[in-house]
Structure 1
Amino acid sequence: MSMHDLEAFLRSIHPFQLLSKAEMAKAIGAMNIAYYKKETLLLSPSKPAEFLYIIIKGEVGEFHEEELLKVYSKSNSFDADALIYAKSENSFKVLEELICYELKKEDFLSLLDSNKTFKAYFIQDLANKIQSAKAKEYTTELSGFMMARVQDSYLHEPTIVEKECSIMEALRQMEAKKSSCIIVRSGEGYEYGIVTDSVVRRHVLFNEYDKHAAIGPIALHPIITIEADDYLFNALLSFTKHSIKRIVVTRDGEIIGILEQLDLLSYFANHTYLVAVQIRKATTIDELKQASSDLISIVHKLHVKGTKVDYIAKLISEINEKIYEKLYAMIVPEELATKACLIVMGSEGRKEQLLKTDQDNALIIDDAMDESLYIPYMQRFTATLIAFGFPRCEGNIMVSNPYWCKHKSAYHKEIVRWFDAPSMEDVMNLAIFFDAIPVAGNASMLRSLKAEVFEYVEEQSPFLANFAKAATAFETPIGIFTNLIAQNNKIDVKKGGIFPIVQGIRALALEHKIEPTDTVTRIKKLAKLDIIDADFAGALIEALDTLLNLRLKERLARGEEKGLDNFVNIENLNQLELELLKDSFKIVNKFKKFLTHHFKLSMVI
């Protein structure tokens, strides 16, 4: 192998691509090729490590006493820990004739000292190793934006006046500071309102409000704010969700500037906000359909630019919710629409839906209303969403199904029944309902029903064990030697990893009355409550992100026309992705053990 080929080989192995040109040359110069016969003992608790081994051909087994823990093969390296900590609790034995590169201990440690990022990989825990590996896989020109804070963007100086200030005086101050809006302090402390050009025009020019009168009465409340050290991407989410042109930036509750939509879009050259504007301005169903038609393109562009799956999902969810809300208003007469609550559930409710997967929606109807009046509108609603590209739900969990379109009191009866000796179908119905969020109509209906769910959990503690047990229903597709278990080179990452994490965290969230619906936020809340160790919480988040990302990559490569299943073809994964997948499944298995202990699942029949 030439020097050029050797460098290419090493740079294909994480984290060697983190080495500088000079460091790589130093590593290559210090390496030797070695050959070992089968059964050769390379290192053990009594045989100190001398080299970092990088396999060219063959296999090496890692043993704890007589138990085989892991098998290393081509492109794998071992055992950095033995070199760093000068000891090994395990033994490494050649299983198949081995050809490998050897890097002496002193040369390896020298590389660690010269490159902090390279060193950090080897001393991190599993969760951080996954995160570090992802950084290599997904670093692109967008990564700067993803890490950018609001305070990194251009902020306009705010014009802040008291509520007694006259409109004319406020406008003079606004002009002097070249501001685009006026912030009105409307009470003691940090209670503010906002006045924009359009507000002034509406009140002064069209409603003939006295321009010398106090500005307080025309200010809009509440203002939308974001902390200066928050991510710019979250500002984009707020612009999209609230359909606003500016957001007030605060630091520890104090206003420090105004972030304008145009400034943000100049930083983030993408048309997701424009799609939200098109949805808002749509006056016909055809216009709404056109506005929603480019979501797959947006997902693809964000993904290839390295955007984290969690961010993509939240952004797409905000857009999808706007589509639902607008379509509901277009189809359902106002006198009916306000007397019901349209909800989305499952992955949509958790804000984890990335593509137009099947619908999970329902309607809660005021008990005083005639239920039959809603049926034709809900049938049309479902049919229109299908025409928009949202497939029909295979389980018929849609507003066109009378089971998911009924009075609030009927849902109350269902909640009672779900908790009373539930079937597996009842367990999953409660699970998707627990993930529900309101998108249109009277949101208080859903809030009161969810409050009932929490009340019944307290009274039905044995239910939680059965609820959590669903997370262990599917085998994790990884063997005892950390080999991936695939059928026809395909692995169902939903059954193997995504569902166990989502359902297990959902059970813990239900137990501890955690209201947010998205899995990542639930994990963070559980960590704050010390239910899950903080480091392990990070590991779960990284594992879920890996599994969702690999599934999304497969779906985008395959195209919508071939279906949106949950299989990932491991032949399409590079070496790094294979390692990420293995590490993620290890975390899933560890989480299943946690759930088994926490809910005493071994006692559940």
Structure 2
Amino acid sequence: MSMHDLEAFVRSIYPFELLSKNELSKATRAMNIAYYKKDEILISPSKTASFLYIILKGEVGEFSEDELLKVYSKSNSFDADALIYGQSAKQFKVLEELICYELDKASFLALLDSNEAFKAYFIQDLANKIHSAKQREYTTELSGFMMALVRECYLHTPTIVEKECSIMEALREMEAKKSSCIVVRLEEGYGIVTDSVIRKHVLFNGYDKHASIGAIALYPLIGIEASDYLFNALLSFTKHAIKRLVVMEHGKIIGILEQLDLLSYFANHSYLVAVKIKKAGSIEELKEASGDFIHIITKLHVKGTKVDYIAKLISELNAKVYEKLYSMILPEHLASKACLVVMGSEGRKEQLLKTDQDNALIIENGMDVSLYEPYMKRLSETLIDFGYPPCEGNIMVSNPYWCKHKSAYHKEIERWFDAPSMEDVMHVAIFFDAHTIAGDASMLSELKAELLRHVEAQTTFMAHFAMPVLAFETPIGFFANLIAKENKIDVKKGGIFPIVHGIRSLALEQKIEVGDTVGRIKKLAHIGVLESDFSGALIEALDTFLNLRLKEQLQRGFGNHVNLEHLNELELELLKDSFKIVNKFKKFLTHHFKLSMVS
């Protein structure tokens, strides 16, 4: 192998690609090729490591006493820890005749000293190592936007007046400062007056322009912290259909973020789709708007956006479609007396591509349920036409079981906890994830509060509730090798489901009202149920599974399988590490809920 080929080979192995051209050249010049026979011991507690080994051909086993922990093969390197810390508790033995490159200890340690990113990879914990690797894998032109803070965007000077100030005086001050709106200091906080508010009250309603401005201020205003990410500002613009956000820092208003300025910072198609949804005058126009979601997902994913962020944005857009369709199909006098909810992944705001419908309608007690049934049938059929597939379990508003009085749901919740079947346990799970889309949100809030009250002292129920996390084997072998069928792995069964349902089980037990899985993980860490480091590992593992699945779906169609042939070396390592975290989490859940005692 020529020196050029050697450099290309080494650079293809993460994290060596983090080295500068000069550092890589020094590293490869210091390398020697070596050959070892089967069963030779390279490193052990009694044999100090002298080299970092990079495998060209063959296999090496990592042992703890007589237990084989991991198998290293082509393009793998080992054992940096033994070089960094000067000792090893593990034994590294050749399993198949080995041809490898050796980088001596002094040269390796010199590279750590000269390159902080390279050093960080080898000394950080598993969760941070996954995060660091993914940063490298998915960082592209969008990363600047994803990491950009609100304060880094152009902020307009705010015009802040007291509530007693006259409209004319406020307008003069606004003109002097070239502001686009007026912030009004009220007793209960801050309100806002925009051009449209003034037109409505002064021009159309004849409100006295010399009267105090406080009476026409909109309250509460929607704000964002200067230290928050611009992507969250984009989410707020999309969710609330507004044109400006008040920017706060240490409790004080420091500026106004205009939607146009944000869009000029990063031209995003999602806002245009949100506008199309809002302006849709017919079901056909609404359908056309919802068809643009796949383009948003593809663009954001290609540009490196974390799947969690994409899901939040798409969920906001999906909610707007549901809400708009609900108002188009259902007469106002019926719509206001009911509550439309979504459940499952959509309820957790984790749905990306259009998957099975999981929705329900809660109807105010005393209303005639039969009046709603034809409209709900039409709603389900229209959503199917929009590309939202029917639920295999018929968990849809067109099913009378999921379209009934609030009191009927109340009775069902009681029944779910009284000698529950597996179907009842599933219903508790999806209802716990429920989120209001349209109508009277207080009805769902009351029912979820009732659900949480029933969880108290339900040790046996919670064990049965958590048990499905063990339903599927984790597709990683005893030797840390991936177990695939026809070179494909179902990452939903093997990784996504055990994390999502395991976290849901802990959140239900702790009566955590946060709806999304990542938010639940952070809350569980905050209250001490999960260790901080492990919670970070779970978040990174979940992101790995979701990202690899989405990549496969966008390239080759909907499904939960990832083809290992389509993954590069880094992605394969990320997948292995993530499945290790899943196994660790399953052990935690088994102990926590005493699952070994469940019959």
TM range (shorter): over 0.9
Deviation string 1:85-125 (CA, Å, 9 cap, x unpaired) is: 00000100100111111000010000000001100000011
* Residue 269 (1) aligns with residue 263 (2): no
1:25-104 matched pairs, under 5 angstroms? 25-104=25-104
State the one-letter code of the partner of 2:173: Q
Mapped to 2, the partners of 1:405 and 1:316 lie a distance apart of 25
* Percent of aligned pairs with the same amino acid: 77
- 2:585 maps to 591
* Residue 9 (1) aligns with residue 9 (2): yes
- 2:308 maps to 310
State the one-letter code of the partner of 2:568: N
The alpha carbon displacement at 1:341 in A equals 0.3
State the one-letter code of the partner of 2:536: G
SS in 2 for 1:389: coil
The alpha carbon displacement at 1:4 in A equals 2.1
Mapped to 1, the partners of 2:10 and 2:413 lie a distance apart of 57
The alpha carbon displacement at 1:459 in A equals 4.1
- 2:131 maps to 131
Deviation string 1:456-507 (CA, Å, 9 cap, x unpaired) is: 0004232111111111111100001000011111111011010000001001
- 1:184 maps to 184
- 2:217 maps to 219
- 1:287 maps to 285
State the one-letter code of the partner of 1:463: F
* Residue 582 (1) aligns with residue 576 (2): yes
State the one-letter code of the partner of 2:22: A
Q: Which deviates more from structure 2 when the two are superposed, residues 407-416 or residues 79-88?
A: 407-416
SS in 2 for 1:32: strand
State the one-letter code of the partner of 1:152: E
- 1:238 maps to 236
- 1:297 maps to 295
* Residue 422 (1) aligns with residue 420 (2): yes
Deviation string 1:569-590 (CA, Å, 9 cap, x unpaired) is: 1111111110000000000000
SS in 2 for 1:530: coil
- 2:387 maps to 389
Deviation string 1:256-304 (CA, Å, 9 cap, x unpaired) is: 1000000000111111011111111111101111111110111001000
CA-based RMSD of the aligned residues comes to: 0.8
State the one-letter code of the partner of 2:446: S
Q: Which runs of 5+ in 1 are unaligned?
A: none
Mapped to 1, the partners of 2:103 and 2:418 lie a distance apart of 63
State the one-letter code of the partner of 2:205: N
Mapped to 1, the partners of 2:72 and 2:265 lie a distance apart of 44
State the one-letter code of the partner of 1:234: N
Q: 1:379 aligns with which of 377, 380, 383?
A: 377
Mapped to 2, the partners of 1:275 and 1:70 lie a distance apart of 48
Deviation string 1:183-233 (CA, Å, 9 cap, x unpaired) is: 000116xx0100001111111111111111100000001100100000100
The alpha carbon displacement at 1:395 in A equals 1.3
1:151-230 matched pairs, under 5 angstroms? 151-187=151-187, 191-230=189-228
Mapped to 2, the partners of 1:459 and 1:104 lie a distance apart of 59
Count of aligned pairs between the two proteins: 599
Instruction: With the length of structure 2 as denominator, give the TM-score of the two structures.
Output: 0.99
The alpha carbon displacement at 1:22 in A equals 0.9
Runs of 4+ in 1 over 3 A off after TM superposition: none
State the one-letter code of the partner of 1:423: S
State the one-letter code of the partner of 1:565: G
Q: Which runs of 5+ in 2 are unaligned?
A: none
- 1:527 maps to 525
State the one-letter code of the partner of 1:416: E
Mapped to 2, the partners of 1:18 and 1:514 lie a distance apart of 41
The alpha carbon displacement at 1:409 in A equals 1.1
Mapped to 2, the partners of 1:490 and 1:433 lie a distance apart of 32
Mapped to 1, the partners of 2:509 and 2:290 lie a distance apart of 37
- 2:554 maps to 556
Q: 1:473 aligns with which of 471, 474, 482?
A: 471
State the one-letter code of the partner of 1:383: E
